[in-house]
Amino acid sequence: MGFKVPEDLSVVGFDDIPQAAFTCPALTTVSQPKIEMGRQGVALMVDILHGKNIDRGAAPPLPVKLIVRESTGAYMYPPMPAQRRSHDK
């Protein structure tokens, strides 16, 4: 198709696997807290095994982190610093 990454098309992955940093270009990705996900999953499983009534919507959302690498335009063109407004002088 002739597209260039990131000049023409940005590519983003999910899970921040170790190989993502070593692709060419390095893959921008979303990282999730795997250890905390596992901890909450085990706690939920233990509660189920002990016969507790589980509220399926009770688990708090976990934070994710965007790891910007070379596969997106955001890497090529980082945000410009905030410019001073005329009334801030």
When mean pLDDT is compared across 22-26, 45-49, 61-65, 72-76, the lowest value belongs to 72-76
User: Is 70 exceeded by the pLDDT of residue 88?
Assistant: no
Q: Check: CB of residue 34 under 8 Å from CB of residue 40.
A: no
Q: Domain coordinates of the chain in residue numbers?
A: 12-77
**Pairing label, strands 65-67, 28-31:** antiparallel
What is the rounded CA–CA span in Å between residue 7 and residue 5?
5
pLDDT digits (tens, 9 = 90+) for 8-55: 899 999 999 999 999 999 999 999 999 999 999 899 899 999 999 888
- The pLDDT confidence band at residue 67, using thresholds 50, 70 and 90, is very high
